[in-house]
Structure 1
Amino acid sequence: MVVSHFLKWIHTAKVSERVAAAAALARAYIDRDLPFDDRCAAEAALTLLLDDPSSKVRQAMAEVLSMSHHAPPQIISALASDQPEVSGAVLVRSPLLSDADLIDRVAGGQKAIQALIADRPAVSMALAAAIAEVGEAEACKVLLSNSGAHVASLSFRRMAERFGHLPAVREALIGDSRLPADCRHMLLVKLGEALQGSPFVLALIGQARAAKVTRDACVKASLTLIESTRAVEHAALIEHLRLRGDLTASFLIRTVAHGKVDFFGSALVALTQQSEPRVRALLAGGQDVALQALFRAAGLAQATHGILIRAMKIWREVANGKRVAGVQEVSWLMLKELGGQQAEGDLAVLVKSIHLEALRENARDHALAIAAA
């Protein structure tokens, strides 16, 4: 038999010769043209080659067998447990490795192995969850760049929680269109915390000023985030904000001033536990008394009701095509509801700040338009 001669020959052959012979024998095995007895002998020979002292021989076997559905499973298992230059091809490509096999190897904690598994052409949701839960940062980054990976919302959340403070992973997460809105907000907060703690920023403007600038930037970023958040994701984002303590009355007032009426409605649904159709109907056409009752149920102070109702009426007219208005006009009318520029108190300060920000933004846009003309 050819295989019997091969087994005698390998003890004296050079490494380069053994490499070529191992690859040829592996190809002959997966071609499935060998008679049954010769297949059995070839499998025995390939198994023996797992003990070859040269990793190049085992690597040659791995390259040939890694994509075959008909490779000997015990050989695939052994090659997958070999050193990275041998196991790489098998871990990335072999269809014989089950999710359970791969999850066990991810749990082993070797950074290189985790990254190889995360780069497989197809990564199931269960395997992605294991990488998100116990994988190193590099494996999570590779997973996020893998278009063949099926990543659940919970797995995105775990990666954001574990590695959102690392710029490389944070950038990969933010760049993924599948990232849920609540995770995006979490990363915005982490970015703000990183900037706030930067020695350069602290030296430049001081701790108190850095905290205020960061807080204001996070609020603005959150409002921008709402614009790109689908309605079906509002509930998750609202729960995230609520748990963080960021779903405040001042934030809700900002959302209304900026015309985020759908998001405001979703927040009221969560806060009041009333049905979505009822809340939507009240915001779309409810009388003042009904709106006040809704705001009370949401825990909004009586002092905020007037400006919220004033803003809602303006946005209703805009939605119905009866009026053209933006944040600047709405915030000005909200301020008038409080007594105009002379109004005092925390609520007036908040509405004034919204109005001034709108003025600055509009002036900036106008200047850019002039420059571009």
Structure 2
Amino acid sequence: MIIRRFLHWVRSAAASERARGAGALARAYVAARLSPEERREAEAALLSLLDDTSAAVRRAVARELGSELDIPRHLVLALARDQSDVAALVLARSPLLMASDLVDCVEAGDALAQTAVAVRPGLPLAVASALVAVGAPDALVALAENHGAPLPEFLMHRMLDRHAKLPALREALLARPGLPAAVRQRIAVAVAEQLTAFVARRRWLGMERAEGAARESGERTVLTIAATAPDDPSVAALVRQLRQEGRLTPRLLLRGLLSGEERLFAGALAELAEVPPGRVAALAGDERGRGREALLERAGIPVALRPAFLVAWSACRAYSGHRWEEGGPVGLFRPILERVIAACASRGDADGDALTALLRRFEAEIAREEARGTAARLAESAALGALIEADRAVIEGQRSVSRPIAA
């Protein structure tokens, strides 16, 4: 009887009153002890409210029923297909929605509805795939921030294919635990490209110099990512990604050896020469035979660069682990570079040779880095000296005040 009176009342009540009444009815449907007949009438009343012209009424129902389990599924489906500010209350929480339902809502919904789906805990992989395929930028950011959602590496790459220029998406991906090395590299490239374009637009640097600075920064970033990759398969995936992007260059590989980072170089040889990683590891220890040179040839390393690679490879292995124990950053390592320069000089290469020019640029880069470190240490020493002098002056002042005045 009460529900019938309610249905009569809603015909003339104001929208705000109808919304409060709808919320109360939904709470009673979930919590009150209703007879089977009353429950059927309450269900019919709730379904009729879904046709109410006021979204506030439908939101009130969705707010109360959005996370409930013991309610009719068709009621939840109707709410999930309502306008987005109503549907979101159900899409984000309802345990009754199946993966197929969520995929349909993602494909038909707007950014708000898609974002509501993206924040769901325990999101099925099929739903995550649908979001990556058609989701709005805000929905992709929400998905990346949802660490309870499955996000395999191939889906991360698809997200970056669509919105690599979106800073919020890059930050959300970087915050995910265990981010694959290849994904980190793509994010670094996207940041570098945007910075290069920004600097060029501001005319702070010419485009050529800006691109050169970005290339050097990108190479150092790749080496850092490779050095911190958890295992060899991660490095192999990074190498494949670099090759697809056309960034697996001899210059990068030589920089890696000159920085003491052999894993990236070994992974690149296995990829480029199409030989098993174990074969590369076996040849790495054979410094007297021609196996190394043949491997470089098969990997497509230019003839003019092979002597430098062979010397750098041996030097890199000789210093293996030494510089990391010192805690140095991933960057060019002077002892390795000096051995390569000396070896190339003994061959009588002309100063204008491309290899010699590249090595001299690397040498200048090391000199700049060392100068920056020296300058920073000198500045810190000067600051510490100034603090000591100031403290000494304060102490002397206190002593002079405490001395007794001569009679």
1:137 to 1:43, Cα distance in 2 relative to 1, 3 A? same
The one-letter code of the counterpart of 1:84 is: S
* Residue type of the alignment partner of 1:149: A
- Identify which of 344, 348, 363 aligns with 1:355: 363
Q: For structure 1, which segment, 317-326 or 255-264, has the greater mean C-alpha deviation from structure 2 after superposition?
A: 317-326
Alignment match, 2:85: 85
TM-score, normalising length: structure 2 = 0.83
Q: Which residue of 1 aligns with 2:139?
A: 139
Deviation at 1:363, TM superposition (A): 3.0
- Larger gyration radius, structure 1 or structure 2: 2
- Distance in 2 (CA, whole Å) between partners of 1:120 and 1:84 is 16
Name the counterpart of 1:261: 262
Is the 1:67–1:95 contact (alpha carbons within 8 Å) kept by the matching residues of 2? Answer: yes
Aligned to 1:252: 253
Matched, 1:329 2:335: yes
The CA deviation string for residues 290-335 of structure 1, in whole angstroms up to 9 with x for no partner, is 2222222222233333222222222333338799997111011111
Cα distance, 1:361 vs. partner? 1.7
From the superposition, tell whether residues 365 and 301 of structure 1 become closer, same or farther in structure 2 (CA, over 3 Å): same
Preserved CA contact (<8 Å) 2:47 2:75: yes
CA distance in 2, matches of 1:257, 1:242: 20
Aligned residue for 2:45? 45
Letter in 2 for 1:308: F
CA contact (8 A) 1:196 1:202 kept: no
The residue type paired with residue 241 of structure 2 is H
Could you tell me how far apart the structure 2 residues matched to 1:93 and 1:280 are?
Answer: 52
Give the % identical residues: 33
CA offset at residue 120 of structure 1? 2.1
| 1:179-235 deviation per Cα after TM superposition (whole angstroms, max 9, x unaligned) | 332232223333333233337546232233233233233223222332233332112
Q: Is the alpha carbon distance of 1:243 and 1:35 closer, same or farther for their aligned partners in structure 2, counting shifts above 3 Å?
A: same
Unaligned runs of 5+ in 2: 382-407
Match of 2:389 in 1: none
Which residue number corresponds to residue 366 of structure 1? 374
Q: In structure 1, what is the Cα distance between the partners aligned to 2:123 and 2:88?
A: 16
CA contact (8 A) 1:106 1:131 kept: yes
CA–CA separation in structure 2 for the residues paired with 1:303 and 1:209 = 26
Q: Structure 1, unaligned stretches of length 5 or more? A: none
Aligned to 2:183: 183
Structure 1 residue 64, shift from structure 2 partner: 0.9
Paired residue secondary structure (1:30): helix
2:226 is matched with 226
Correspondence for 1:24: 24
* TM-score, scaled to structure 1: 0.90
Partner residue in 2 for 1:287: 288
Paired residues of 1:15 and 1:54 also in contact (CA < 8 A): yes
The alignment covers a number of residue pairs equal to: 373
| Stretch of structure 1 that moved more, 156-165 or 334-343 | 334-343
